[in-house]
Structure 1
Amino acid sequence: MLRMSIEPTKPTNTASPNIFGSPIATTKPISVFEERKDHPVPRLGVRGSGPYGTNKFYANFFLGNQNSPAYVHPYSLSWSKGQGSTSSWGMAISHTEASQRVYGQTQPETGAAKYFLNPIGIQSLCLSALELGPSTSLTTDNLNSHSANVNLHVDSKAKPLITFPVVQGMGFVTAIYNGGTPVIQTGVFFKTVTRSTKGPQPGITKYTFNLEDGKIWHVYGYSAKGDPLDLTVINNRIAKAGKPFNGIIQVAKDPGNAESIIDAASGAYPVGMIVSGTSSGSKGTYTLTFQKAGFSNVKLLMYALPHHYESFDSTTAKATSTIKLQTTTKGMAKAVVADSWTMIEPNMPISMGFAPWDPTKGPRETLSDSAIKAITPVALKELSQNVDQQSNQDSMYFSGKALAKFAAICYTANNLLKNPKLAQSGLANLKTAFKRFATNKQQFPLYYESAWGGLVSSASYKTGNNGADFGNTFYNDHHFHYGYFIYAAAVIGYLDPSWLTLENVDYINTMVRDISNPSTFDRYFPVSRNFDWYHGHSWAHGLYETLDGKDQESSSEDAMAAYAVKMWGRTIKDANMEARGNLMLSVIARSLNQYYLYTTQNKVQPEKYIGNRVAGILFENKCDHTTYFGANIEYVQGIHMLPLLPSTKFTRPADFVKEEWATYFDKGRADKVEGGWKGILYGNLATVDPKMAWTFFTNKAFDPSWLDGGVSLTWYQAYTAEAFM
């Protein structure tokens, strides 16, 4: 008979000095995945070898018409492409203030605006060249996890005339001119243009553009050859140089009283960003190191978001200036004068395993005898369900949820109900069902496609429907889809270590590499496809052009994916992977409670919006209190609750849950909700009222239709059983 593991899961021993330093693997994805060299989405103007970041802030530059904005925070950039108020062929730079936001109608229940967004297409300044015109082409190269080069060419056969290194948080928009004649245009109109009599640094020419909207922009020019940037104002829309220029032009908005700090930082610019990190006990640190060009003796001016500066170490905090600029959906950014930042996460959830967990009490790995007696018959009944049938779907998302559901029941039966025999019968069926996927024989097998570099569903290839399985083929939602498989595999491998064969480990590791590859040494997958170490959460939006940038509608499934990576790392004893999962969870918890989940104390998002309690769909440029599948309040709030996991209380704190429940679901309102959403709401309630949740889930009249397809009554009861303790 198989020996089932009943020991609590323990954190893996020491991680490396840099938990991002080693790749998960460097080998080609296992042969079970058919390789495709084509993809339905062409790589428009993409230069250089892959793999390529599909879910990154710069993706609009190689999608669709290539002229939707890229949100670098606090600025946004878009290729004018002969359009807009300037009709320029250069790069348009925009920055919007809080006063320019547009709000949707007021919601009757809360008084909060249904959405807020920032205007698009304001071309404050455009950096262009006289030589650019209708034959201009745009290419991208050096595509990395947090940066890219965007190039403008006179035509598709010419070398780049202007190169823009774009890096998240950059304090200047920098253009590298390669012999083009500079033209600076505006759609807002120049009020005054002033050339400084003395440059801020040797060899730098400075202009100040005061626009008709009252905003001030500083423009700096530097050429290694010593040629000054000599601009002539033609009219209130155009200033141009008299001759070709080889050098850099930098643009920065002055929010007020910032000129001396901006001046001092001119001449240096970022060209990339590298993430490194450490883990020691419950303390995690991560460092964003900016690769630099230009003046080596000048420190970079970069903008940090609220979740960054809240967790800065003392050195980085000292480098933070008084300069602030509004971002689109992330509050006020603060300028930091430093070439790297270090953030500290002091309370990583290292004690969190598969058992219900609490931020103050830790894991709860035992149940009372009366709870065991109540839950065991439920587990027995649910484990008699057909997991093979429930997971055999045409969707990786729904299949993964079904596998995760049964994994949680098996764990509960084995460790919490102390019934290894029952768990073993369920585990045998779960392993059989999982084998369909581990051998890639599901309805739509996965391909490894080398055009972009990733693991995708074959559904869109075979059906022609680009929205099949929520757009998995187009790189939508991979961390959601694969996160459920990674979690299920972590449980299986924990309960039965003999299941951790080379083939099964490689299969799951390939999924982890797809969503969360830590290293450039892995040439088959981009670094950190989904999780954005600048924003502190993931982006679900793949290869679709969009005016409002990338987006994500389920913050809780983002946390689920990080938790799954952590637990898979623990199961296979990969200390670095486990540490990265812990760190991601900690950063997610911090960022969600600033940008996604709102108590009345939230000072980051607009006051008119926080009454919604959740962001709804968070885009780079807007928040919309809705979902992609409907506007019912249980959908909008509930998609940020599911699935219920040990990590739930960590990322969704009690004070938030209390306010959200009082806003939408108390006084019997939750009982009017239908279907699986009702169970989701009551599972979430367990954070603040486990007794009421336990009563709901153990009610003799409980209707199985109140269970979402990804969760079991067994797990809900075990999770809420602390009401007995």
Structure 2
Amino acid sequence: MAKLGLYMHRHAGHSGILRIVVLSDSDPTCESIVDQFSYCYPTSGVPVLTKSSCVEYKWEKKGWGDLLMLAHPLHLDIISIRKFLKDTIEPWLNGTFNGNGFLYESKWGGIVSKQGSTDSEADFGFGVYNDYNCHIGYFLYGIAVLTKIDSAWGRRYKPQAYSLVADFMNLDSLSNSNYPRAGVLAEFADGRNQESTSEAVNGFYSAALMGLAYGDTHLVATGSTLTALVIQAAQTWWHVKEGDNLYGEEFTRENRVISVLWANKRDSGIWFAPSDWRECRLGIQLLPLLPISEILFSDIEYTRQLVNWTLPALGRDVVGDGWKGFVYALEAIYDKESALEKRRNLSGHDDGNSLTNLLWWVHSRGDKLEIQHGAEGKCYWTRFLSFSSLIAA
């Protein structure tokens, strides 16, 4: 107070609420606005996250009249996010990324990375189209967000953005000899395989979001349809529920998720971890954590089974906090208080998540009463095809 040149004098006769307002502007209009709302004051407040694409605040107040709220300058955060996205995405699209970038590969007619074009193991095999839709999906997600908050940037890089989409999705019915690819060129004895279903979902989901950002209803419809089909496939073939008879009895008893599904076999281990690293097996089928993840794991009873199957594995010394975060994210679907308490012990997050993203996810889950009455697990595409939570993610 002293730094502002203001002083407070104690008066022995006062009892009650004292409100202090410091105006940074000498404009008398500001003072008149404060006077207008001076008879009502808040005593407590909580955020309400029950409505789709909306954050509201519920206030307990005393006095009469309306409550005056001072808005946080969120535009400053938007400016920071826009700069970060431009700095990280733009060099890939305009060819200025130092040492790497996108280029056209004429043999198969697709877009690969410079490093991947000379090293089949670089960039997770992007040069040989390994997990192609998964990799491009991350770029499309960022492009969708940046286009939404900076339409001029989106118009400038629209040709590049649509070239990425068309490289793994059919955008029209015209004949094209360069058919979109989503799998590696390498041959395996057991045929083609798929590990991360959630990253595949992200690829098509991000394409639909990009359609929203550009006002392209055809791309929205195509991306949404493919997203729904991939989710259905994941829930059918990768999610192993107790008592299911799709797989053998012993396998079903020991596993709650398929790690890698091949044309001719199923794997419990993943490419980078053994089968007993269950937190990785769960995480690779969840990351990145998105609004659409709620639909991918809309079967709450199965989600509970998967988490309970995974939790004992977190007792190992080598378990990273990033993988724990995904386990707690799924736990939040049916017990967000427990998940929130466990989250406080995390010191880091995986690349498919962040502290802000995890907090948004946990706090936006329904409470136990809602779950018991079936309020969770309902699919409304308009809810998940929105930009309300993209910034947090």
- TM-score, structure 2 as length reference: 0.70
Any residues of structure 2 matched to 1:436-447 within 5 Å, and which? 436-442=91-97, 443-447=99-103
**1:449 corresponds to:** 105
Structure 2 residue 172 is matched with structure 1 residue 516: no
Structure 2 residue 179 is matched with structure 1 residue 526: yes
Q: 1:695–1:477: structure 2 CA closer, same or farther, 3 Å change rule?
A: same
Q: Please report how far the alpha carbon of residue 599 of structure 1 lies from its aligned counterpart in structure 2 after TM superposition.
A: 1.0
User: Identity over aligned residues, as a percent?
Assistant: 25
**2:78 corresponds to:** 423
Q: Please report how far the alpha carbon of residue 367 of structure 1 lies from its aligned counterpart in structure 2 after TM superposition.
A: 5.5
Q: Counterparts of 1:694 and 1:368 in 2: how far apart (Å)?
A: 20
Which of residues 29, 51, 54 is equivalent to 1:365? 54
Q: Please report how far the alpha carbon of residue 637 of structure 1 lies from its aligned counterpart in structure 2 after TM superposition.
A: 2.1
Q: Counterparts of 2:365 and 2:57 in 1: how far apart (Å)?
A: 10
**2:143 corresponds to:** 489
Check the 8 A contact 1:450/1:524 in 2, yes or no.
Answer: no
Which of residues 260, 273, 293 is equivalent to 1:648? 293
2:158 is matched by which residue type in structure 1? V
Between structures 1 and 2, the one with greater helix share: 2
Structure 2 residue 120 is matched with structure 1 residue 466: yes
SS across alignment from 1:618: strand
SS across alignment from 1:608: helix
Q: Counterparts of 1:670 and 1:681 in 2: how far apart (Å)?
A: 14
Q: How many residues align?
A: 303
**2:389 corresponds to:** none
**1:567 corresponds to:** 209
Q: Please report how far the alpha carbon of residue 685 of structure 1 lies from its aligned counterpart in structure 2 after TM superposition.
A: 2.1
Any residues of structure 2 matched to 1:121-140 within 5 Å, and which? none
Q: Counterparts of 1:369 and 1:422 in 2: how far apart (Å)?
A: 24
Check the 8 A contact 2:190/2:265 in 1, yes or no.
Answer: yes
The CA RMSD over aligned residues, in Å, is: 2.8
**1:147 corresponds to:** none
SS across alignment from 2:187: coil
Q: Please report how far the alpha carbon of residue 707 of structure 1 lies from its aligned counterpart in structure 2 after TM superposition.
A: 0.5
Q: Counterparts of 2:213 and 2:302 in 1: how far apart (Å)?
A: 32
SS across alignment from 1:640: coil
Q: 1:693–1:577: structure 2 CA closer, same or farther, 3 Å change rule?
A: same
Q: Counterparts of 2:78 and 2:160 in 1: how far apart (Å)?
A: 24
Q: 1:671–1:575: structure 2 CA closer, same or farther, 3 Å change rule?
A: farther
SS across alignment from 2:353: coil
Check the 8 A contact 1:618/1:624 in 2, yes or no.
Answer: yes
**2:199 corresponds to:** 557
Q: 1:655–1:418: structure 2 CA closer, same or farther, 3 Å change rule?
A: farther
Q: Please report how far the alpha carbon of residue 670 of structure 1 lies from its aligned counterpart in structure 2 after TM superposition.
A: 8.9
Q: Please report how far the alpha carbon of residue 525 of structure 1 lies from its aligned counterpart in structure 2 after TM superposition.
A: 3.4
**2:219 corresponds to:** 577
Q: Counterparts of 2:238 and 2:88 in 1: how far apart (Å)?
A: 35
Which of residues 218, 241, 248 is equivalent to 1:599? 241
Check the 8 A contact 1:657/1:684 in 2, yes or no.
Answer: yes
Any residues of structure 2 matched to 1:22-61 within 5 Å, and which? none
Check the 8 A contact 2:260/2:268 in 1, yes or no.
Answer: yes
CA displacement, residues 304-358 of structure 1 (integer Å, 9 cap, x when unaligned): xxxxxxxxxxxxxxxxxxxxxxxxxxxxxxxxxxxxxxxxxxxxxxxxxxxxxx9
**2:260 corresponds to:** 617
Q: Please report how far the alpha carbon of residue 567 of structure 1 lies from its aligned counterpart in structure 2 after TM superposition.
A: 0.6
Q: Which has the higher contact order (CA 8 A, sep 6+)?
A: 1
Q: Counterparts of 1:481 and 1:471 in 2: how far apart (Å)?
A: 10
**1:206 corresponds to:** none
SS across alignment from 2:111: strand
Q: 1:710–1:673: structure 2 CA closer, same or farther, 3 Å change rule?
A: same
Check the 8 A contact 2:282/2:326 in 1, yes or no.
Answer: no
**1:689 corresponds to:** 335
SS across alignment from 1:456: strand
Check the 8 A contact 1:594/1:605 in 2, yes or no.
Answer: no
Q: 1:647–1:498: structure 2 CA closer, same or farther, 3 Å change rule?
A: same
Any residues of structure 2 matched to 1:76-225 within 5 Å, and which? none
Q: 1:595–1:723: structure 2 CA closer, same or farther, 3 Å change rule?
A: closer
Q: Please report how far the alpha carbon of residue 671 of structure 1 lies from its aligned counterpart in structure 2 after TM superposition.
A: 9.6
Q: Give ranges in structure 2 of 5+ residues lacking alignment.
A: 1-48, 60-70, 368-393
Between structures 1 and 2, the one with greater strand share: 1
Structure 2 residue 269 is matched with structure 1 residue 626: yes
Q: Please report how far the alpha carbon of residue 578 of structure 1 lies from its aligned counterpart in structure 2 after TM superposition.
A: 0.6
SS across alignment from 1:591: helix
1:447 is matched by which residue type in structure 2? L
**1:657 corresponds to:** 303
CA displacement, residues 257-276 of structure 1 (integer Å, 9 cap, x when unaligned): xxxxxxxxxxxxxxxxxxxx
Q: 1:628–1:362: structure 2 CA closer, same or farther, 3 Å change rule?
A: farther
2:165 is matched by which residue type in structure 1? V
Q: Give ranges in structure 1 of 5+ residues lacking alignment.
A: 1-357, 371-415, 531-540
Q: Counterparts of 1:417 and 1:658 in 2: how far apart (Å)?
A: 37
Check the 8 A contact 2:314/2:324 in 1, yes or no.
Answer: no
1:600 is matched by which residue type in structure 2? E
